[in-house]
Structure 1
């Protein structure tokens, strides 16, 4: 079975085209070699897939006939991804929050109005309100 079709049938990618694109970009390795989408996979091959900044590692146990349900995926592959890969993703998530807090950066519409109200001269507002009374 082709590697792009295998990754699609074992639910690593939502569409087969996404699997093909990952192979073309060099995000898929079979037995340590970057492969084309047409590369055949066989039982006991080791596959490394980079997806969402995580390097997944899996071993092919069997070849499915077509796309399988999520419950049956474990029959066809063994996930050997180290836990450190997922911990690294959590650390990246926290580091992003540390460097850029929500609400910083470009002001929202509400922030801009608050700034304009703060910077408005009190004399101008008194003159405008006095003109309305006359």
Structure 2
């Protein structure tokens, strides 16, 4: 199939459709929801789903608490394979560094409650009661 990618400065497309065609979101409705919740910004401003993105715009969006910052390089009306989708944008160096730092933080983070395993046993309960009475 022939995927027509427009790189002209006047080319434009709805932001929710662009996010979907660039494969950041699996469905267009997920992209629309993210825009509606204020997780997508063009040029630093929160936008509505009907806002049109143009070639050269800087788009910031959040997926699972990870902020992406990309420059729009092309517009494609249809969703194509990943190889085509990757030609539609270029991630900024600042965005890439911020995203890598967040991934490293998540990798090293341990949930404090992870060591707890359900309800305390009778013995643990007595210890807890003893400690709380001493205070």
Does residue 1:89 correspond to 2:103, yes or no?
Answer: yes
For the 8 Å contact 2:35–2:47, the answer to whether it is kept is: yes
Provide, for residues 14-54 of structure 1, a one-character-per-residue CA deviation record: whole Å limited to 9, x for no partner.
11001101011000000111000000011000000011111
What residue number does 1:100 align with? 113
Contact 1:54–1:86 (CA<8 Å) still a contact in 2? Answer: no
User: Which structure: larger Rg?
Assistant: 1
The SS at the match of 1:55 is: strand
Count of aligned positions: 110
What 5-or-longer segments of structure 1 have no aligned partner?
119-134
Q: Is the strand fraction higher in 1 or 2?
A: 2
The TM-score, its normalising length taken from structure 2, stands at 0.72
Quick one: distance in 1 between partners of 2:32 and 2:56? 21
What are the residue-to-residue correspondences of 1:68-87 with 2, within 5 Å? Answer: 68-80=80-92, 81-87=95-101
The structure, 1 or 2, with the larger RCO (C-alpha pairs under 8 Å, 6+ apart) is 2
TM superposition outliers: structure 1 runs of 4+ over 3 Å: none
2:32 equivalent among 17, 20, 24? 20
- Distance (Å, rounded) in 2 between the aligned partners of 1:42 and 1:10: 14
What 5-or-longer segments of structure 2 have no aligned partner?
A: 1-12, 124-135
| Structure with the higher helix share, 1 or 2 | 1
Rounded Cα–Cα distance in structure 2 between residues aligned with 1:37 and 1:73:
20
Match of 1:10 in 2: 22
Checking the alignment, whether the CA contact within 8 Å between 1:58 and 1:78 is kept in structure 2 is yes
